[in-house]
Chain A
Amino acid sequence: MTTITETPPAPLSARLRVPGAFVLGAVLLLGAAPLALSDFRLSLLAKYLCYAIVAVGVSLAWGRGGLMVLGQGVFFGLGGYAMAMHLKLADAAATGETLPDFMQLYGTGDALPWWWKPFANPGFALAMTVLLPMAVAALLGFFVFQRRVKGAYFAILSQALAAALSVWLVGQQATTGGTNGLTDIQGFFGYSLDDPVNQRMVYFVIAAVLLLLMAAARQLFVSRYGELLVAVRDSEERVRFLGYNPANVKLVAYVVAAGMAGLAGALFVPAVGIISPALIGIVPSIGFVIGAAVGGRASLVGAVLGAIAVAWAQSTLSDAFPGAWTYLQGLLFVLAVGFLPGGLASLGIVLRRRRTRTPATGETA
């Protein structure tokens, strides 16, 4: 009876790999990028990093949990609108008005709608950017997972939710700004967004949030919960017979991913200055998944880099060659998902396997 109960310690280099990569990422994002990039490019990077924050959640829910989250635009939008509503009210208050500019324009009356009023409070609005998406995700997720609605059905319901929210927002022009959305945001908690210094500050906030969420997600990945989530993804029914309720396991991943998307949406508003239905519907919702799919859905770093790369390619190439970019985007999707389901992050493993013909057992996180 000689049982080894201690896992033999990994070599030092392996143990330092993850913290090392994290420090490297922090240096690049917080040090090198702000030094090297112009104000304009840095603000673009801030936007891409917002998409990367969504991708962190996508990697958790889809990559690890197998949940086809095709409605992340909803949560991104809820977070974005919650933030934008507060900033619009703050802008209006700064100029002595009681109503945001667009309401005066389309105005149905002089009174602020009741559901706008609490957003004047910054604490409430900030909390809502995360809690509102999480609540909606919890509600939908509870009903869908509890009744074991199939994965394909869940994907379609997520899309339908994204479509419904964007249609609803367009329909309520007087209170949501309709198709235009909430635009022309001037200040961010008292700081003018016209000032490049403040724009840089927004970038730092976004980069810090991304790093923080990646660290949190990494902890979830390697935790017992992370192992359980993979187990649920691969054989939900078996997990049930072990005494767990898989619905709760999935719900946690889905709600956390929704909260991350909401936070991303909230940070997107000061970075870009707009939130609109066009950022929420079916097309952008699938867009949020593209990056993760291309980079590698199950790999945190892969998903984040994929999201940044796809966003960069989109804004760089779509201006220069709008038609060609759409073909490329479609092709990228077909190739990445169809022929390299682990994304670019798995390219090394696939090649190595092809060379040595041995099953790869390495963790891809």
Chain B
Amino acid sequence: MSGEGLTVRDLRVTFDGFTAVDGVDLDIRPGDLRFLIGPNGAGKTTLVDAVTGLVKATGSVRFGEQDLLGKPVHKIARLGIGRTFQTATVFEELTVVQNLDIAAGAGRGVRTMLRRRKDVPEPVARALETIGLSRLRDRPAGVLAHGQKQWLEIGMLLVQDVRLLLLDEPVAGMSHDEREATGELLRRVSEDRTVVVIEHDMDFMRAYARSVSVLHAGKVLSEGSVAEVQADAKVQEVYLGRACEPEPALGPAPTPAPAAASVAEEA
């Protein structure tokens, strides 16, 4: 177990008066495989956005010894924090190898940048093996299947050599086999890195999570092992209670209308 942990204290994100993240505290130890779950609009993606510098936030986010809030996105990335997006974002016109080579290259010197890539760098070859795309390495990323793009994204984080991976719904839209392969991949990756996964798929969460945080209405509702969280009455109320009664009297912030929230999530 190596790497740094992520410490979040009293994190708040507000969009035009709407509080998306409302005082979140998180402690993610080095080597953890943490799942963030919660209903749509709970603030999961916004939390990741805040940690990676995409949105402004107040409070404090520390990664190891480093304070993250207020740093620009690319500086945070260089501290060893990488993320994926709900919709796989790869460079479609570039080949798989080119995608990975770019991910490996932040911090390259001017002279390296101005030269042509002669061969496949060692870390890129290893990542190709890990994500199982060696055979497709010279294909443009745009022609990959959805699941393969997601793996390529994870591969890009591996060659980027991040210490903390923040994955936003990595198995959404994947077949059963692909999910299993992804889960195993995450397990292997988390052996020497810290992984945080946002997921809606409860089976996937139960199978692979080492610890779980449940977010609801911008707050942490519950935290612990899978079993602990599943036994938590508050969690049951949010997840099950919503099915029986449309208006759960939970939390001070009103739950946004599900439709509006899911639009915001998609955006």
Contacts and interface: CB of A to CB of B under 8 A. Distances in A.
**A, B bound:** yes
Interface of A: 1, 3-7, 219-220, 222-225, 227-228, 230-231, 234-235, 237-246, 359, 361
Given A240-B77, A243-B74, A243-B77, A5 B102 contact: no
A241 B105 contact: no
A76 B157 CA distance: 42
A282 to B, nearest CB: 31
Interface residues of B, number: 44
B168 to A, nearest CB: 11
A361 B141 CA distance: 11
13 contacts: A3-B125, A3-B126, A224-B102, A225-B114, A227-B117, A234-B91, A235-B90, A237-B73, A238-B90, A242-B82, A243-B74, A243-B107, A361-B140
Nearest to B113: A225
A224 B117 contact: yes
Contacts, number: 101
A245 B113 CA distance: 14
Interface in B62-98: 72-74, 77-78, 82-83, 85, 89-94, 98
A359 B143 CA distance: 9
A227 B160 contact: no
A6 B119 CA distance: 5
A336 to B, nearest CB: 21
Nearest to A221: B116
Nearest to B143: A359
Interface string B149-165: 00000001000100000
A165 B89 CA distance: 40
Contacts of B108: 224
B102 A239 contact: yes
Specify which of B108, B116, B117 lies most central, judged by the most chain A CB atoms within 10 Å of its CB: B116
A228 B125 contact: no
Contacts of B72: 245
Contacts of B120: 4-7
Contacts of A4: 120, 125, 134
Nearest to B82: A241
B102 to A, nearest CB: 5
Nearest to A245: B74
Interface in B94-144: 94, 98-99, 101-103, 105-108, 112-120, 122, 125-126, 128-129, 134, 139-140, 143
A1 B77 CA distance: 30
A238 B116 contact: no
Given A224-B115, A228-B105, A235 B73 contact: no
B119 A7 contact: yes
